[in-house]
Structure 1
């Protein structure tokens, strides 16, 4: 009998434990995951709710319509008047295909179900409001379309930021698609080898090549006190544990200081610098610039990768990392943030793309993130890198990015990749002495960064600064 009582108590304790686990599980979803579940694109109730609620309109920074709902023959349809330049960014909202891009991540705002103020919700209900919130982006649609045209159908991406606020001025992925006709073209789009459905600006991971030398230079300026007084001799290549790493054509053998080596993008000299900086310091500086960390951003961005020093088995891997090759991968958004950090005196500001939301009753909620900044490098170092980047555009590999009458700071990159021709990079900002725009451009399998990515950056910078005048 005593054994039976013990067994009953044990069973009772087990069931109590299971009940508490279930209670905790339900409480977790009610308290922490409730809003996410409500706004999830897999929640079929949202589609039923959308029958009675008109989805909000998406506008650019100047109030031009990017996405809107129209009623045709009694049926609602989502339209995107700006065309394929906005496809990968805006995504689509389709009962047949679901949602993607900003249409997915802003679903709660556009349906008006993310509003947390109970009094505001009550007022809307009493007044019979059946429309979601309108969303205003930081994007300039003219700049976006111009940037998209400059790719001329080539695969690649561009991100332009305001380095002072973190606002995204343009975010282009090429090739794009027209969200208005995505249902009709779905089969062709989903099978297209150029991957037009992919937002390369935030999901594309590329070896950054020589554009990463900005990070290597920052680490060197901070950890090698006399580096600016040194000269480095190079025969045009360097040997590291039997591996030969060559400079690109046009780099003559000779003696160079670090500024000229940066301007001409010498691989051999920056390998030597990287080896002197060392694994730990280069890894730490990459981490400070945001590598290996999730970028806090409205859209899900891939994590840019820098190999952990414990996995760097030998000097060859460190040598490759110093020049942005090997196992380093970066998104265009990440490299735009690197350029923006230098432009902003060493402060990295969190990027954002939603400027504000407006409820049907006129209540405005602003999203500017200017206060969220971290000091990545000190201002003295940032100003020195800025000086070097200006020399790249004035006297080095970045001359195709020159803008008449405006000093431009930049860094080119020609990144080797194992899947085809070299990727072309350009990252930079302007005006160099009072930055208003920072850009990162990558053109897949295009060759020289200066010749192929530089002109795209030049035109985008020029158009944006003309608009500010």
Structure 2
């Protein structure tokens, strides 16, 4: 029998150390590989990544202009430093954002950083080349924004929380997009502490990042779903309230409407009407139509947009289906998504992609990139869309949206009053004008305004439509107040 040879303690220690080192090496390789494969892009684009600033020293950042060529952000070289200027401070804080070494980047300054610095790609070789052979001037961005309409939006929303968006329903061009509260892009050094400590979230772009209960403006989607559902009796006797699984639904203000069809239910924004009809439609059909309006889907835009939500694929009781049909329950939307929704109705059912940056222009004045109109979906058949369009006209003529009416211009719209956790309702208005040839679509959201859409948001929409129709280049004749 052979005698077992014992391994010296020193050898055991060496093997233990080698195993430990190998384990660390393998862990490091896995760690680096993970970041290279899954995290490299997000880290590269992170606004706090100092490598992004290498080109800032060598390239004069391109300017940003409105649709008419007005310069709304630019850079100048002073004492061998490139200084970024925001002459309109708060007006474009959520669109342009900011570009500061100590605070990073946001808005278009972040999303179009490579274009503004004329960088085709970001890698080590490119960075070395830019250090050795630096470029002098970046590219300019020409926006679809109209400076005058942006100013009007800001003035009408001043002192409130919320969002105003105006856009062309046929082309998708965004003429104004204002979110309140805002901040001053030009004075971040003096305001930064107050901005990040504020409970009002001034850095939040409510137009694209805020998710809100839509209230009755969601009845546009419910109406389309009803019109697409064969065999639904559209008549109803409104007694002011209806009960579903022990929960009572009634109108804001406890109105009683009597005999109604779909047109009457929509015009008067009758909650009991839509609650009862939604149970006939069912959650699957309601969700299918919501998806066509880009709810539950990622919206491609020049800025990052949160996804609107209606989780109809999960188990839902009758109460949740009923609440969702009137824009409560499990429905949350962004103002931009609602601007696209109303634009699709105005545009005969074709939903177009929203555009904020129209052109990228190089230092020689040549357009090197253009964002063109793109149809995203056909939200419904022509008959259903035309019927909803007509009903929206009646809302402004003799329904809840009369405060949006304009002399000599046919305005169509829908009001919304959305309950939320704060106890103060959101006030909504969506609309478009002129009815026969829509040129301007609008969304007004007054966050926690505590009043109806007809009283709070509709008058603001009216003033915006008048200003836009008179001042955007498509205007042919002046609109009376």
Q: TM-score higher than 0.5 here?
A: yes
Please say if 1:222 is aligned against 2:228: yes
Distance 1:210 1:256, change over 3 A: same
Deviation at 1:143, TM superposition (A): 0.4
My pick for the range that moved more, 79-88 or 105-114, is: 79-88
Please say if 1:317 is aligned against 2:315: no
My pick for the range that moved more, 263-272 or 184-193, is: 184-193
Deviation at 1:88, TM superposition (A): 1.6
- 1:47-446 matched pairs, under 5 angstroms: 47-114=53-120, 129-225=135-231, 227=233, 230-249=234-253, 251-312=255-316, 314-446=317-449
Q: Which has more helix, going by share of residues?
A: 1
Answer yes or no: is the 8 Å Cα contact 1:292–1:304 preserved in 2.
yes
- Counterparts of 2:346 and 2:198 in 1: how far apart (Å)? 38
Answer yes or no: is the 8 Å Cα contact 1:224–1:277 preserved in 2.
no
Distance 1:91 1:252, change over 3 A: same
* Residues 88-138 of structure 1: per-residue CA shift (max 9 Å, x gap): 22110001111111111111111110379xxxxxxx999974111000111
Deviation at 1:262, TM superposition (A): 0.4
Deviation at 1:36, TM superposition (A): 6.8
Distance 1:191 1:128, change over 3 A: closer
Distance 1:395 1:91, change over 3 A: same
Answer yes or no: is the 8 Å Cα contact 2:422–2:448 preserved in 1.
no
Deviation at 1:40, TM superposition (A): 4.3
My pick for the range that moved more, 246-255 or 154-163, is: 246-255
Answer yes or no: is the 8 Å Cα contact 2:48–2:105 preserved in 1.
no
- Counterparts of 1:433 and 1:253 in 2: how far apart (Å)? 29
- Counterparts of 1:200 and 1:310 in 2: how far apart (Å)? 27
- Counterparts of 1:352 and 1:330 in 2: how far apart (Å)? 19
* Residues 141-170 of structure 1: per-residue CA shift (max 9 Å, x gap): 110111111012100001212111111111
- Counterparts of 1:80 and 1:248 in 2: how far apart (Å)? 43
* Residues 198-232 of structure 1: per-residue CA shift (max 9 Å, x gap): 100000110000000000000001114465xx421
TM-score (norm 1): 0.88
Answer yes or no: is the 8 Å Cα contact 1:39–1:107 preserved in 2.
no
Unaligned runs of 5+ in 2: 1-18, 123-129, 477-481
My pick for the range that moved more, 124-133 or 137-146, is: 124-133
- Counterparts of 1:378 and 1:346 in 2: how far apart (Å)? 7
The count of aligned residue pairs is 443
Deviation at 1:307, TM superposition (A): 2.0
Deviation at 1:173, TM superposition (A): 0.1
SS of alignment partner, residue 148 of structure 2: helix
SS of alignment partner, residue 390 of structure 2: helix
Distance 1:292 1:440, change over 3 A: same
Q: CA RMSD in A?
A: 2.6
My pick for the range that moved more, 107-116 or 49-58, is: 107-116
Deviation at 1:249, TM superposition (A): 1.9
My pick for the range that moved more, 189-198 or 125-134, is: 125-134
* Residues 400-452 of structure 1: per-residue CA shift (max 9 Å, x gap): 11121111110000000012300000011111111111111110111110111
SS of alignment partner, residue 310 of structure 2: coil
My pick for the range that moved more, 189-198 or 141-150, is: 189-198
SS of alignment partner, residue 309 of structure 2: coil
SS of alignment partner, residue 194 of structure 1: coil
Distance 1:277 1:66, change over 3 A: same
* Residues 164-205 of structure 1: per-residue CA shift (max 9 Å, x gap): 111111111012111000121000111122211110000011
SS of alignment partner, residue 81 of structure 1: coil
Answer yes or no: is the 8 Å Cα contact 1:109–1:115 preserved in 2.
no
- Counterparts of 2:411 and 2:303 in 1: how far apart (Å)? 29
* Residues 303-326 of structure 1: per-residue CA shift (max 9 Å, x gap): 1000224331x1000010010001
Greater Cα radius of gyration, structure 1 or 2? 2
SS of alignment partner, residue 311 of structure 1: coil
- Counterparts of 1:255 and 1:351 in 2: how far apart (Å)? 40
